[in-house]
Structure 1
Amino acid sequence: MIVITTPAGAIGHQVLEKLLNCGETIRVIARDPSRLPAHTRKRVEVVQGSHSDSVVVNQAFEGADSVFWVVPPDFQANNVEKRYLEFIRPACEAFKSRGVKQVVAVSALGRGWPKPAGLVSASIAMDDLIASTGVAFRALTMPSFMDNFLRQVEPIKNQGMFFSPMSGDLKTPTCATRDIAAVAAKLLLDSSWSGSGNVPVLGPEDLSCNEMAQIISEVLGRPVRFQQVPFDAFKASLIESGASESMATAMVEMMVAKNEGLDNMEPRTAESTTPTTFRQWCEEVLKPAVLR
């Protein structure tokens, strides 16, 4: 049996779709099962509630062989790292008590980075706590997602611009959530691996924001340019959008670290290179969203 958390989330719903026909029993943990498509609800077992709840995870992990784990964002968190660890502690106890064999978790690149890195640091602390349970564990370590551009559809559409505190000329890896889901599904169906380790998911190429602006322009057939914003303005916009001081600080620390090369620490290999190019993603995902 495979248990999937965040089955309606950006990555979780794609993992679920890839596993529906795998022949394994699929169980999901969902706060609101009505968010799942009706055809999906008929084919999976549903445990309703939060996967931060001890009662919920103990019920969900009963008889489970593997678990796909994601911590959903909490933009009002008062302490981001504490929130990550408090969220997963009940699950870690349930991994042990229910005899879960394997866990695959969404994490981030950056192990070994010498400075605070906000959400990255919190993710790595979470990884260490999962690994300490003794369960076979794989952390999917990723750079920024191509899909994050969907948050900037309006300025791309109406202003011909997108914004980030990143340097416009810094080349970094970026990956599509569809490829993360594919890697996760493959691991969840493979019972042969053991121990703890990281699985980088780096996409097929390193691109700068300026290069991505050029690709977006070509795909949309209209000029789109990148605009770098100061980190203090980036933080202010997060708080204005409802983020707590702690979450805004964690986001800034992460972006500062990325701007200083955090995502470039992991050497690219054939195994860590995934297929979806940024141009392909723009054609298939961003363009329809902009033209909608």
Structure 2
Amino acid sequence: MIVVTAPTSQIGSQLLGHLLAADADVRVIARDPDRLKPEIRDRVDVVRGSHGDADVVNAAFDGAESVFWLAPPDDRADDLRAVYLEFLEPARVAFGKRGVARVVGVSALGRGTPMAANAGHVTLSLAMDDRIAESGVAYRALTMPSFMDNLLGQAGALRQGMFFSPIPGDLRVPTCATADIAAVAARELLDDSWAGAGFAEVPVLGPEDLSNNDQARILSEVLGREIRFQHVPIDAFRANMIANAGMSEAVAQGMAEMMAAKAAGMDNAQPRTAANTTPTTFAAWCEETLVPTLWLG
């Protein structure tokens, strides 16, 4: 039995497709099961509720061999520790109580870099990894750079011919698609050979490093119109997250710290290898995911 948390998220929903295609026995934890596609809901065992609730995770993990863990975002949180550590605690206890053998979680690049000590969401993601590993369960942390899919949040600006970031336009960094993260998560969950193997990171770097200027060029080519990149200072980025994205000061500050660390090269510290290079190119992602959102969203 594989338990999938956040099954209606971008990663979780795609992960379910891979697991069901492999005829895996799947259970999901869902606050609102009606958000699951009918063809998915009919093929999985559903536990209704939050995976931050002790009763829910103890019920869901009963008889489970492995768990996919994704800390759900909470843009209004007063403290990032509540998002990554306090939310985790009931599940961390339940891993051992219910005999879960393996956990695959969504995390971030940065471990071992000086920037990671003050990198907001990344700092807490790495602390979350440590907490899971300390539970004694075998754990694989999928460590990622920024997602290509984050650009979906700027669909309105892209329709106007631009996009924004506090990362310098000429800094080439890795970027990956959530489709590839889901594929790697499925691979790890379906492979039981690492049960009892402790903690390891599994980087997911996408196919190549790109700068924001590179992305603007590719966007222009795919969309058939000029798309410009506009750099924004960190302080302006943080203020916009509060004023226009509705984030709490704590969450916006965490985002600002994370982006400052990325601008300082945190995501570039992970060496690229054949094993951590994934296939979906930025151009392919634009064509398959972004374009339908821009014109149909």
For the aligned pair, the TM-score class normalised by the smaller chain equals over 0.9
**Amino acid corresponding to residue 152 of structure 1 in structure 2:** Q
**Amino acid corresponding to residue 163 of structure 1 in structure 2:** F
1:42-53 matches, cutoff 5 A: 42-53=42-53
Please tell me whether the aligned partners of residues 5 and 69 of structure 2 are also in contact (alpha carbons under 8 angstroms): yes
**Amino acid corresponding to residue 131 of structure 1 in structure 2:** A
2:258 aligned partner: 254
Q: CA deviation at 1:39?
A: 1.2
Q: List per-residue Cα deviations over 1:236-267 (Å, max 9, x = no partner).
A: 11111211111010000000000000000100
Q: CA deviation at 1:113?
A: 2.5
2:131 aligned partner: 129
Instruction: Give yes or no for the alignment of 1:164 onto 2:160.
Output: no
Q: List per-residue Cα deviations over 1:58-94 (Å, max 9, x = no partner).
A: 0000000000000011111111034311000100100
SS of 1:76's partner is coil
Please tell me whether the aligned partners of residues 81 and 121 of structure 1 are also in contact (alpha carbons under 8 angstroms): no
Paired with 1:108 and 1:199, the residues of 2 have a C-alpha distance of 10
Paired with 2:10 and 2:181, the residues of 1 have a C-alpha distance of 10
**Amino acid corresponding to residue 283 of structure 2 in structure 1:** R
Paired with 2:271 and 2:213, the residues of 1 have a C-alpha distance of 22
Instruction: Give yes or no for the alignment of 1:138 onto 2:140.
Output: yes
1:212 aligned partner: 215
Paired with 1:66 and 1:248, the residues of 2 have a C-alpha distance of 33
**Amino acid corresponding to residue 154 of structure 1 in structure 2:** G
* Runs of 4+, deviation exceeding 4 Å: none
Q: CA deviation at 1:104?
A: 0.1
1:196 aligned partner: 199
**Amino acid corresponding to residue 256 of structure 2 in structure 1:** V
Q: Which runs of 5+ in 1 are unaligned?
A: none
1:68 aligned partner: 68
2:93 aligned partner: 93
Q: CA deviation at 1:204?
A: 0.5
Deviates more, 1:77-86 or 1:3-12: 77-86
**Amino acid corresponding to residue 124 of structure 1 in structure 2:** L
TM-score by length of 2: 0.97
Instruction: Give yes or no for the alignment of 1:287 onto 2:295.
Output: no
Instruction: Give yes or no for the alignment of 1:79 onto 2:79.
Output: yes
Paired with 1:154 and 1:199, the residues of 2 have a C-alpha distance of 34
Q: CA deviation at 1:221?
A: 0.3
**Amino acid corresponding to residue 189 of structure 1 in structure 2:** L
1:275 aligned partner: 279
1:186 aligned partner: 187
Paired with 1:24 and 1:176, the residues of 2 have a C-alpha distance of 23
2:153 aligned partner: 151
Q: CA deviation at 1:22?
A: 1.9
SS of 1:11's partner is helix
SS of 1:52's partner is coil
TM-score by length of 1: 0.98
Q: Which runs of 5+ in 2 are unaligned?
A: none
Please tell me whether the aligned partners of residues 170 and 209 of structure 1 are also in contact (alpha carbons under 8 angstroms): yes
Q: CA deviation at 1:112?
A: 1.6
Percent of paired sites with the same residue: 61
**Amino acid corresponding to residue 30 of structure 1 in structure 2:** A
Please tell me whether the aligned partners of residues 73 and 83 of structure 2 are also in contact (alpha carbons under 8 angstroms): no
How many residues align structurally?
291
Q: List per-residue Cα deviations over 1:9-46 (Å, max 9, x = no partner).
A: 01000001111132221000000000001111110000
Please tell me whether the aligned partners of residues 81 and 119 of structure 1 are also in contact (alpha carbons under 8 angstroms): no
1:174 aligned partner: 175
Please tell me whether the aligned partners of residues 6 and 72 of structure 1 are also in contact (alpha carbons under 8 angstroms): yes
Q: CA deviation at 1:291?
A: 2.3
